Amino acid sequence: MGFLGWAVANHVITRNVVNSARMLSFDDERWNHLIGGYKIPFDPRPSLLRLESQQDIAATWEELWEELHHQGDVGDASYAAVPELVRIRRNGGGADWNLYAMVAIIELARTEPQNPELPDWLREDYLRSIQELAQMGTRDIWSAEDAESKRAILSIIAIAKGLRTHGKFLVAYSDDELLELEP
């Protein structure tokens, strides 16, 4: 087998390993007891379904930003939404800045002391989703046009490769804000 054949075969194998099925059925009772960024119950399923059906996308992203992350706080609803957001992207959803930035912000907040641990029942699917989104990002970066989208995509790639501090700077600061930090 030549190099090209090997590369194609490896790409297909890698893609299939990372690609994951829905981890938590929308009928699962656990959705009814999840906590959002305000530390109060939030069920993201209606928002996720609107996003998937591409209904009122701007308002839906606004709601997800409001409910899944609040001043550095996230909850298990935030964690449960990540694999679903990645699944929506995998199934044809757009490579939106919101997707990459939200997943990066949730993942960065996950390790802060005020936030809950990632539940055992969700751990494998959540972490696999971060890796899958980073792989999607390696393709989406080439078609991203605005700096904000490029930074959000690069943030997920950095986080997935263990460069959390770099990921934080990419998603949290614009070029102008970083230049202001220089002495």
Q: Where are the chain's structural domains?
A: 41-181
Task: Quickly state the pLDDT bin for 18 (edges 50, 70, 90).
Answer: very low
**What is the pTM for the complete model shown?**
0.84
Name which of 24-33, 62-71, 102-111, 138-147 the model is least confident about.
24-33
Residue 6 predicted with pLDDT over 50: no
32 Cβ contact list (under 8 Å, min separation 6):
41, 43
- 64-121 tens-digit pLDDT: 999 999 999 999 999 999 999 999 999 886 778 999 999 999 999 999 999 999 999 9
Mean pLDDT (the chain) is: 86
Selected residue with higher pLDDT from 33 and 161:
161
Residue 134's nearest CA partner among 112, 166, 109 is 166
